[in-house]
Amino acid sequence: MARISKSAAKERIEALSAELNRHNYEYYVLSSPVITDFEFDLKMQELQALEAMYPELALPDSPTQHVGSDLAAPKQEEKRGFEQVTHKYPMLSLGNTYSREEMLAFCNKIEAENGEKLEYSCELKFDGVAICLTYVGGELKQAVTRGDGVKGDNVLENVLTIKSIPRHLKPGNWPREFEIRGEIFMPYAAFETLNKEKEEIGEQPFANPRNAASGSLKLQSSAQVAERGLDCVLYHMLGEELPFSTHSEAIAAASAWGLPTSELSQVRKGAADVVDYIDCWDSRRKALPYATDGVVIKVNDLQLQKRLGFTAKSPRWATAYKFKPEQALTRLNSIDYQVGRTGAITPVANLEPVPLSGTIVKRASLHNKDQMDLLDVRIGDWVYVEKGGEIIPKITGVELSKRPDDAVRPDFPTLCPDCGTPLVRDEDQARHYCPNRTGCPTQTKAAFVHFTSRDAMDILAGDATIDQLYNLNLIRRLSDLYRLTKEQLMQLDGWQERSCDNFLGSLEKSKTVPYARVLYALGIRHIGKTTAKLLAKHFPDIEALEHASAQQLSEIEDIGDIVAASVADYFADPDNLKLIEELKAAGLQFAGGAAQKVSDLLAGKSIVVSGVFSISREEMKSLIEANGGSATGSVSGKTSYLLAGDKPGDAKVKKANSLGIEIIDEQQFYSMIGR
């Protein structure tokens, strides 16, 4: 880096520090970064170079001296209810490089100091969220996020839903207590399923599997986490007097105890052998079912690791070589504005076809107007395209040096591209919507496709059938499906007697679909399958749900203000109430979501459940409701008891104590219901 004046360096150091701290917050806390890892690392390297040039100008909170933190602001953490735990051993980050020369220099320096060619453990770098598991007596007792490296959030209840992580270890010679660290990640298949559902209910999809894993791990509902398809790989063991001489021995033992480790890790000897491993996986990783973004190289000898020690931010015995993201540069020809099922307007860039990661990319999402403004993208620009998590094409930047003189700044529409209705801005989701839910053809047809889908009413009608029925004016409201006759269907092109009978048979069968799925099928904005089940559980029939206020809805655990307002708004619309009456008359199920009642032993009691129990929290809540009680999500003056299991939320315990609310354990609860 060329030397610059001290005053210029001071100004640049302050700007870079503020920018990197902001990006750390967006990455770790919000799980919504606005720049790529590569761009972030380049900025970090520039800051490191400036601080090396003028050490006296480094700021006390410089991002070069601490790891990014996934801890939210204190008020947010209290609301989220996770207990903060101090790490027994600081949880640092790894140094990283995109340079082969720097990676070789790392190996050569250590070998020069020790006078021999060393063994290195080479491991794929999973693109997920760091986690630290603590086992005591063979049982998982704690699962803590990286946090700020000194303390993190205990997300044990959520981690226990991940199938690959055992609560109890297999028999073996494991230490009485030890920590093992690794990465929680979301495989591509689970990521695609999750994003499809988010798009269906009008929510912003996750940009990549890493963000999806991070957002999922911090959900308040362990039942929701269980449905997200998270997985885990563990790669670093810590403890007092571990009986291993090498890192690879420790990981092999962990695997034998039933812990998830990577079978793709290998021990290589010398820098040249490490390079061979990197070259191998730089291409082979693209066929893996999960995202990787590099290779981690660790000195295998544990005693040598101990001698090498740590810097303030990272270990000296390990580094990460990061693969450069595959990019393509192509021309942006035009932008389409698509209308989704819930009315959300999504800008989609039409690109000059370009090969990228084994496919030909022709289109890429621009997400929303804010993203377009941030990129300052224009029609005719040459743009950089990457695949987020090797799946979703996205535009990451504009090559300004190639911007043509006739490049046109796009005008985001103010009217719906389909029906011409003025668009409204959703500030919470940073999206524009068409509010003409019942009169916009695209929304109406998409609502029918959703209603008839397998996860909803499971009616034999795909996009082509819905288009045909809509274009012939046979359907406009969901209830119209149940008025169709065989005579009408037989008049349609391509319909035979058998196809008519199959279609009408599926309509009749749909009348037995459970209440929770009917709620999901209605297409209420922000209501996915999991939320629909939750609503059906708390409101055993549609009448009870219709009369629930936004305040009452928001008091339910895992129902936030946005979802509560959406549900309340839906049932405030007389046309929606009329539709439900029509569907009731057709024979659909609008009751039966509550647990079967067995007693009134808890009648009038409001109980908050927190912690880990011998059964799942959802089962515990079902027991409360089956015995006449109410399971609520937050402690208030109306709470009768706080039912606390192992590791209950610290904020909930403190609030219960401050309000004088009795705290009971699992056995006391069972005594109360005579179990």
Q: Tell me which residues are annotated as active site.
A: 125
Phi-psi sector, 270: left (phi>0), alpha (psi -120 to 50), beta: left
Residues 6+ away with beta carbon under 8 Å from 109: none
Return d(Cα 106, Cα 318) in angstroms, integer.
Answer: 9
**336 sits in which H/E element:** strand 328-339
CA–CA separation, 127 and 649 (whole Å): 28
* Cβ(67)–Cβ(93) below 8 Å: yes
Q: Which residues have C-beta within 8 Å of that of residue 433, sequence separation ≥ 6?
A: 202, 342, 343, 344, 345, 423, 424, 425, 426
Smallest CA-to-CA distance from 67 within 149, 131, 181, 125 is with 149
> How many CA atoms does the CB half-sphere of 212 hold within 13 Å?
30
Residue the block writes with tokens 């709620």:
519
Amino acid present at 4: I
Distance CA 233, CA 181 (A): 9
Q: b/e per residue, 288-314, with b = 16+ CB within 10 A?
A: eebbbbbbbbbbbbbebbeebeeeebb
CB atoms within 10 A of CB 180: 23
- Give how far the C-alpha of residue 595 lies from the chain's centroid of Cα atoms, to the nearest Å: 29
Strand (E) or helix (H) holding 609:
strand 606-610
Q: How far apart are CA 626 and CA 51, in angstroms?
A: 63
Identify the H or E element spanning 518: helix 515-521
Which H helix or E strand runs over 316?
none
Interatomic CA distance for residues 300 and 318, integer angstroms: 9
d(CA 208, CA 192): 10
